[in-house]
């Protein structure tokens, strides 16, 4: 069978210096790009991580410092990889928690903002773990009836992952799945959007899992003392938490998403501040008008009385006689 694709789906796997998303680096990358017409393209290359490869990591993937001494750095091949991936959706094994975050970190270090806003991402491990809960080696054996030859080489692993997904779609085509809320569905379909939904049930914001979406599509913290609180709520009560995370040992992509939320929250806060100021100014203006109106309609009896002149009276003889008697003239 072949995948039912509306656009390319890029399966990729990374071998790295370690498992710390924020600080470890890629030493090998392999990408299998499945096209809508059923064709496939593969790109595989070694990468100089610009840091020593720990021995315990080399023992797992078989790549040592001398193997990548003359390999290009990620920065020098970033544009080439970006062009190869193009607008493809992404798929991998444990890719949501590890491969995608590490790849995003490398692109950001290279000054490239790898746009994830319109991509679907299918994590084959999530299908497997939710339906069978095994490892890639066991998954390949279980679904394909084969053993992985040269396991832990990026190309062998990603090829196995690709064939496991094909087998999963075939096996679970009409199989019911009951989620934690008791809802029954048939989520494993030959459709990337349906697989994206099923393999991203935790709705990660930053892929490293430090922030996830809740049922209201709000970003919430998924770790530490503020676990379960919305990010904006934490900014309201403890804005210094943003600075602590920015200075901490968190992945660059986590900090990028945090910046986006901070900018949105700051804009809301400033808008609310302006609205309050406008309301305050309107109330003050209204109060001034009311005061003027009250002064204009005050009790007339309280106003100063203007003394009115009495009307003139004609002088009589009697009045003259009284004046003579009074003043002796």
* Domains of the chain listed by start with CATH number: 9-201 (3.30.420.10), 205-285 (no CATH)
Average pLDDT of the segment spanning 31-58: 96
Whether the predicted pLDDT of 55 surpasses 70: yes
pLDDT > 90 fraction of the chain, expressed in percent and rounded: 69
Lowest mean pLDDT among 46-50, 68-72, 257-261, 268-272: 268-272
Query: What confidence category does residue 304 fall into, taking pLDDT thresholds of 50, 70 and 90?
Result: low
Distance (Å, rounded) from C-alpha 259 to C-alpha 261?
A: 5
Lowest mean pLDDT among 7-11, 258-262, 287-291, 313-317: 313-317
HSE of 326, CA atoms in CB hemisphere, 13 A: 6
Average pLDDT of the segment spanning 75-101: 96
Q: What is the pLDDT of residue 180?
A: 74
Give ∠ CA 267-271-272 in degrees, rounded to 5: 120
Closest CA to 48 of 17, 69, 78: 69
Distance (Å, rounded) from C-alpha 203 to C-alpha 211?
A: 9
pLDDT > 70 fraction of the chain, expressed in percent and rounded: 90
177-188 pLDDT, tens digit per residue, is 988 778 899 999
Report CA Rg, the chain: 39
- Sheet strand arrangement including 89-92: 40-46, 26-34, 9-16, 89-92, 121-123
Whole-number Cα distances in Å, 134 to 107, 148, 186: 31, 14, 20
pTM confidence score: 0.71
Lowest mean pLDDT among 48-57, 94-103, 126-135, 256-265: 126-135
């Amino acid at each position: 069978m072949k995948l039912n694709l509306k656009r390319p789906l890029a399966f990729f796997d990374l071998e790295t210096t370690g498992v710390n998303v924020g600080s470890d680096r890629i030493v090998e990358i392999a990408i299998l790009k499945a096209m809508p017409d059923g064709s496939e393209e593969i790109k595989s290359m070694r990468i100089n991580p610009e840091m020593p490869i720990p021995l315990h990591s080399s023992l797992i993937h078989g790549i040592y410092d001398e193997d990548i001494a003359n390999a290009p750095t990620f920065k020098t091949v970033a544009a080439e990889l970006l062009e190869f991936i193009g607008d493809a959706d992404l798929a991998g094994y444990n890719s949501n928690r590890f491969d995608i975050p590490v790849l995003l970190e490398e692109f950001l270090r290279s000054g490239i903002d790898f746009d994830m806003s319109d991509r679907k991402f299918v994590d084959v491990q999530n299908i497997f773990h939710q339906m069978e809960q095994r490892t890639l080696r066991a998954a390949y054996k279980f679904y394909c009836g084969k053993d992985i030859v040269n396991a832990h080489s990026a190309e062998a692993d990603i090829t196995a992952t690709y064939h496991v997904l094909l087998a999963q779609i075939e096996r679970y085509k009409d199989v019911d799945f009951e989620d934690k809320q008791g809802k029954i569905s048939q989520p494993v379909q030959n459709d990337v959007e349906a697989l994206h939904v099923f393999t991203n049930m935790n709705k990660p914001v930053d892929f490293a899992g430090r922030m996830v979406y809740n049922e209201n599509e709000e970003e919430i913290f998924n770790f530490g003392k503020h676990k379960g609180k919305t990010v904006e709520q934490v900014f309201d009560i403890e804005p210094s938490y943003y600075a602590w995370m920015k200075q901490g040992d968190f992945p660059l992509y986590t900090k990028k998403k945090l910046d986006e939320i901070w900018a949105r929250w700051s804009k809301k806060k400033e808008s609310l501040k302006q609205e309050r100021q406008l309301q305050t100014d309107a109330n003050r203006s209204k109060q001034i008008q009311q005061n003027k109106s009250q002064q204009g309609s005050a009790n007339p009896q309280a106003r100063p009385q203007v003394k009115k002149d009495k009307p003139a009276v004609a002088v009589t003889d009697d009045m003259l006689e009284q004046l003579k008697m009074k003043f002796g003239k």
